[in-house]
Structure 1
Amino acid sequence: MSRVTKKASSVCTDSPLSMSEVCRKMTLMRQILTSCFGPNGRLKQVHNNVGGHVLTTSTSTSLLQAVSSSEPLLKLITASILNHLSRFSDCGLYTGILCFSLIDHVQKSGLRPSVAIKINKQLLEVCTGFLNQEDCGCKVNVDFNSCQSLVTLARSVISSKPACVLTEGEQQHISTLAVHAFLLTVPCGDTPGSPDRVRLGRTVTVSIEGQFVLDSAVFPGLLVNVPDMQLHPTDSERTRRGPGPFRLALFTVSLSGDLSEFGEGSLEVHSGAPDPEHLILDELLKLGEQAVTDKVEVFMCQRVIHPVLQHYLRRHGVLVVERLGIALIQPIVQMTGAQAVALYQTPIPPEAYGQVKGCCVRTVGSREMLHLLPPREPAPAVCTMVLCHRNDTMLNKLKAACQRAEHVLRLTLRDPVALLGGGCTETHMAAYISNKGTTEAAKAALSLGVSQSQYLLGLNGFCSSLEAVALALVHDGETGLVDLSYAHHWSVLQGEAIHSGTVLQGEAIHSGRGTPAG
């Protein structure tokens, strides 16, 4: 008891940014996020101060989850960024840099937080209105009739993840595969029962470590990992038969016949009564008899199948696959139209059966996998993306990048426009808002109930924060430039000639912002 100390009371403050230690931590976090931003961002290695697993990453999701802080304000900002990522799956570094820049400029300007919040909200509405305009100079239409347009969009996502460690050729290959997989999940016809809606399919990712990136591929349908790396000889013969469609049955309940599957408790068996295990096996064999009678040709189970039942089914020419795992159940249901059966004590309902067009064995790297081909359209398409890389860390980052690229492509399907990259959108918006805000400063200040000087201070800080995001893309001693006529941004190596009509990005731009044409 001598070592037990009384719990200290919570310390609350209404102005945490007045504390130098809090500001120092926020500056450090901003520097970490900024250095990771963009295709040339720096990788970070994160580990506990006493050792342990080392995380190598440059993505905001991994970084923010790995870097912990005891500071409540940083926890709040981190939680906000992670919430943004959970909704949009990308742009976490962008959000973090913009957030910290806004806070920093409010501190430097001396504006009261309540005033700064009102001004920032109003300017955010101006940004949203500008981006929603038909003639917005930041938007580019995405042509779904052009595969090259889609590949370019996917590559802009994948190339921004330096932790994937891809060459130019590998980036192009993976971007092409991402678009191929996305197009396979888009149905050719209308969704049955909902002609006004499009129900997209699903992409299942299979990761293979130790293979070349260029060995990655996309297959329509599902690749199912076979236990023990090989199929039963009878199953191998079954896959070489003619094309389907084949009737499929899918079970999520264990068909192992173990009494433990019924849960905990005691079981009393009276003298002369049948053995419970024999009764269970009889039920399983009845299930197998029904499957054979109903002409089931593919019998799949999430868990284990009793060896006697497997032998019976294979003897009657049924392809048997067990130990699927829970992750593949929903894709199989979506692709085949089957209903997962959770009981074996009752007959299989006719509507529970699904169909596959065909099946075959494919060798992928060092694995032998069963390839299930999807039935004909308009069923939602399911495809498998096989991703290969040199080690597990790079493979995980590549998988996450491909998932983000797929999410971006799906969002673009709903709204086929993209924003300019390379910092151009940020500098263009900053120039537009600066020009509009300066012109309408008196009116805007009156509507917000602030002075005109306060509004201009807030306007300057907001525009500078947008430019800070563009500047974060500049690494390796490069210089950021902006066109004073169109407000486009690009970077050059130090020492290269700066043409007329451009100005150095940074604090000096505040005195020379141009009005974007168009």
Structure 2
Amino acid sequence: MQSNLKGKTRLDSKAESPINCLTLENDCILKALILMEQITSSSRGPGGKIKIVQNSLGGHLTLTSTSTRLLNAMSFTNPMVKLITSSAQGHLKKFNDAGHLMMSVSLNLILQSLKLGTSRRILTDLYEIFLGMCADYIQCKTSSPIKIDVMFSDLKQMSSIVKSILISKPLCQFAVRNLKLCSDLLLETFLMSLPNCETVTRVSDSVNVVALQGQPIEKSNVLQGLLLQCPEIVSHSNQILNVNTVENEDSTFHCLVALVTASMSGDSEEVGSMQYESDISVDTDYCILGILEDFCDKLTAANVGLLLCQRVVHPRLKYRLQQQSIVVVERLGVTMTPYIQDVSGAVPIRSFHNLDTEVLGKVASVEHQIFLGKSYMLLSPLQDKCVVSLVLYSQEEEQLSELKMLCSTCLLSLRQLVQSPHALLGAGCWQTHLAAMLNRKVKANQVDIIRRTGCTVKCLTQACKVFTNTLQKIAAMGTGHDRQDHMSDLEHGHLWRLPKGSRPDPDAVLRCSCGAVKQRISKLFYLSETPDIVEQKKLDQTGHSKLHTADTDVILDLSAPCVAALTSGVLTANTVLSIGQFIQDIN
């Protein structure tokens, strides 16, 4: 390698840093924003396009249409795109859903706003007002035509929510039968993971997802307890584990569990940055190993049956413990520690000098099980613990990774329903309805908005059109199909999709995209041709009974992640639009 500093010395003065000042109108930034908008909009919905991501060196191929896996597989250098994707990752960290929606809102608002000759400060003020109107309308305590209250006792409604999430990702390729099996399995898993009483404190989400490649999806199942992989146990047949047990007062037995998060490798380097002095004749590794052996003796005296170590266990210690009927499982990692705490009630042990019996956990039984030729250990909890293991199968690696992410999203969404039991009518219907409502409200409050922001009527009209066009475009792209006509009606403001250029019977009755409303085709209009839907007053007088009594599965979106995505998308767009110059130090 040749050095670029040839001919220079340390005494030479440092050259000034060349600085580039870029604006949002710069071609490089605009092209990056347009490309990112095309990627995220074409990934949404059951008809979304699957993306293949690979680095320039020809590394691992990632196939996905989920926002979480897509953003994790990609790296960004453009500052504006990086700002938007960072905001999306923050949203996904909390909700694990609606990442594409958040980015689509932000990117569409930015790109359409740049085409206007309007002050960006006024635009951002107007967008915040529009956002407030939308949020108030959705979260109205009385009633909202696009929001329903979710009843946990209504299994059909719960199943609709799960199916709506599952069918949104085409890579999993759910057939009708597999879709029902998977949705029922996820509902069963969620119900099994709920605590039996209010006093139960949990560290994890109580559902350990185990992904196995080699069997079809319909072989997936759920087990009561925690499944840990144990490669050291032979897998040619089920083994009877010789584990110490303790008898209960009712003549049943349980196994004591010790959870160690420190290393038991016996290496003096594990002491850390602590300073100590030792004689040259003293073997520090031997002394540390002696301390660990004393700790093992304390485990034996306490009648511990299972030692679970987050890191490595010295072979000598493993042999010593196995001779005392203590099963050792090592290299569990950080992610499994919360599940072990919940299934057993054990407190992590970080020091080997003392062993308090109160830090030991309990499990009802320890069993050896074999899945696809690999050994696992199933820890069955006591009756007051609710930890389950969801075993997912797939015959393709990338499909399995997508399925695991999708099921984790479903389970998280179901848990969030406990805190916010509300859903929106999905498949683009709530966005279309919201756009129509916003048009009407802006027109009704035009004088007040102009007074608050100091904008002109033309500016207000343009900003409102940008905001509503964004909502309608997101609704239309919800299936990923571009060869469709998108229509709505005056009564409900829902979305209908028809094959492009088709001329069906005007008296024919069709369901809307979410499946909650039926309407004659003669009462439908093209979204692009009828912008003055805002003049209708029937929009807020929709009867709930007509919306929620459909004799088919209704597509539902969870309210909390969608409202959060809409809010985060608008605020992120306002942040980007507020940026004057991007200063890049090229040095």
Fold similarity call, TM over 0.5: yes
- The DSSP-based 3-state class of the residue aligned with 1:327 is coil
- The DSSP-based 3-state class of the residue aligned with 2:253 is coil
How many residues align? The count is: 505
Aligned pairs for 1:89-168 (under 5 A) are: 89-133=96-140, 134-168=142-176
How far the C-alpha of 1:386 sits from its partner, in A, is 1.3
The aligned counterpart of 1:326 is 334
Q: Counterparts of 1:269 and 1:448 in 2: how far apart (Å)?
A: 79
Q: Counterparts of 1:291 and 1:65 in 2: how far apart (Å)?
A: 42
- Picking from 214, 217, 222, the partner of 1:213 is 217
How far the C-alpha of 1:421 sits from its partner, in A, is 0.5
Aligned pairs for 1:24-423 (under 5 A) are: 24-49=31-56, 51-133=58-140, 134-191=142-199, 201-230=205-234, 236-238=240-242, 244-259=253-268, 261-262=270-271, 268=279, 270=281, 282-344=290-352, 346-377=353-384, 379=385, 381-423=386-428
Q: Residues 170, 369 of structure 1: CA spacing in aligned structure 2 closer, same or farther, 3 A cutoff?
A: same
Q: Residues 156, 297 of structure 1: CA spacing in aligned structure 2 closer, same or farther, 3 A cutoff?
A: same
Q: Counterparts of 1:233 and 1:402 in 2: how far apart (Å)?
A: 30
How far the C-alpha of 1:245 sits from its partner, in A, is 2.0
Q: Residues 312, 47 of structure 1: CA spacing in aligned structure 2 closer, same or farther, 3 A cutoff?
A: closer
Q: Counterparts of 2:56 and 2:317 in 1: how far apart (Å)?
A: 54
How far the C-alpha of 1:227 sits from its partner, in A, is 2.1
Q: Residues 103, 312 of structure 1: CA spacing in aligned structure 2 closer, same or farther, 3 A cutoff?
A: closer
How far the C-alpha of 1:260 sits from its partner, in A, is 5.0
Q: Residues 163, 10 of structure 1: CA spacing in aligned structure 2 closer, same or farther, 3 A cutoff?
A: farther
Q: Counterparts of 1:234 and 1:152 in 2: how far apart (Å)?
A: 39
Residue type at the aligned position of 1:372: L
- In structure 2, the gaps of 5 or more residues are 7-14, 246-250, 507-520, 543-587
Q: Counterparts of 2:284 and 2:4 in 1: how far apart (Å)?
A: 57
Contact persistence 1:34–1:472 (CA under 8 A): yes
Contact persistence 2:236–2:373 (CA under 8 A): no
How far the C-alpha of 1:162 sits from its partner, in A, is 1.8
| Identity value in percent | 27
1:501 aligns with 2:507: no
Q: Counterparts of 2:464 and 2:137 in 1: how far apart (Å)?
A: 16
After TM superposition, the structure 1 stretch with the greater mean CA deviation from structure 2, 134-143 or 105-114, is: 105-114
Structure scoring higher RCO (CA < 8 A, sep ≥ 6) equals 2
Q: Counterparts of 1:199 and 1:91 in 2: how far apart (Å)?
A: 25
- In structure 1, the gaps of 5 or more residues are none
How far the C-alpha of 1:33 sits from its partner, in A, is 1.6
Instruction: String of CA shifts for 1:57-111, please: whole Å, max 9, x gaps.
Output: 2122333454555433333223332332233322111112222222233234432
Q: Counterparts of 2:313 and 2:325 in 1: how far apart (Å)?
A: 16
Q: Counterparts of 1:63 and 1:369 in 2: how far apart (Å)?
A: 31
- The DSSP-based 3-state class of the residue aligned with 2:196 is coil
Residue type at the aligned position of 2:62: L
The aligned counterpart of 1:458 is 463
Q: Counterparts of 1:442 and 1:281 in 2: how far apart (Å)?
A: 80
Q: Residues 239, 137 of structure 1: CA spacing in aligned structure 2 closer, same or farther, 3 A cutoff?
A: farther
Contact persistence 2:244–2:326 (CA under 8 A): no
How far the C-alpha of 1:40 sits from its partner, in A, is 0.8
Residue type at the aligned position of 1:226: C
CA RMSD of aligned residues (A): 3.1
The aligned counterpart of 1:489 is 495
Q: Counterparts of 1:86 and 1:234 in 2: how far apart (Å)?
A: 39
Residue type at the aligned position of 2:496: W
Residue type at the aligned position of 2:394: H
How far the C-alpha of 1:334 sits from its partner, in A, is 2.3
State the TM-score, normalized to the length of structure 2. 0.78
The aligned counterpart of 2:24 is 16
State the TM-score, normalized to the length of structure 1. 0.88
The aligned counterpart of 1:439 is 444
- Picking from 472, 481, 484, the partner of 1:478 is 484
Contact persistence 2:235–2:373 (CA under 8 A): no
- The DSSP-based 3-state class of the residue aligned with 1:473 is helix
Contact persistence 2:349–2:359 (CA under 8 A): yes
Contact persistence 1:187–1:201 (CA under 8 A): no
Q: Counterparts of 1:127 and 1:140 in 2: how far apart (Å)?
A: 16
Residue type at the aligned position of 2:70: L
The aligned counterpart of 1:448 is 453
Q: Residues 114, 279 of structure 1: CA spacing in aligned structure 2 closer, same or farther, 3 A cutoff?
A: closer
Contact persistence 2:149–2:421 (CA under 8 A): yes
After TM superposition, the structure 1 stretch with the greater mean CA deviation from structure 2, 310-319 or 169-178, is: 310-319
Q: Counterparts of 1:202 and 1:484 in 2: how far apart (Å)?
A: 46
Q: Residues 235, 309 of structure 1: CA spacing in aligned structure 2 closer, same or farther, 3 A cutoff?
A: farther
Q: Counterparts of 2:146 and 2:303 in 1: how far apart (Å)?
A: 58
- The DSSP-based 3-state class of the residue aligned with 1:508 is coil
After TM superposition, the structure 1 stretch with the greater mean CA deviation from structure 2, 289-298 or 407-416, is: 289-298
Contact persistence 1:234–1:314 (CA under 8 A): no
Instruction: String of CA shifts for 1:389-419, please: whole Å, max 9, x gaps.
Output: 1122111111111121122112111010111
- The DSSP-based 3-state class of the residue aligned with 2:530 is helix
Instruction: String of CA shifts for 1:136-177, please: whole Å, max 9, x gaps.
Output: 111121111133322221221222122333333333323222
Q: Counterparts of 1:269 and 1:25 in 2: how far apart (Å)?
A: 63
Q: Counterparts of 2:56 and 2:475 in 1: how far apart (Å)?
A: 33
How far the C-alpha of 1:200 sits from its partner, in A, is 7.1
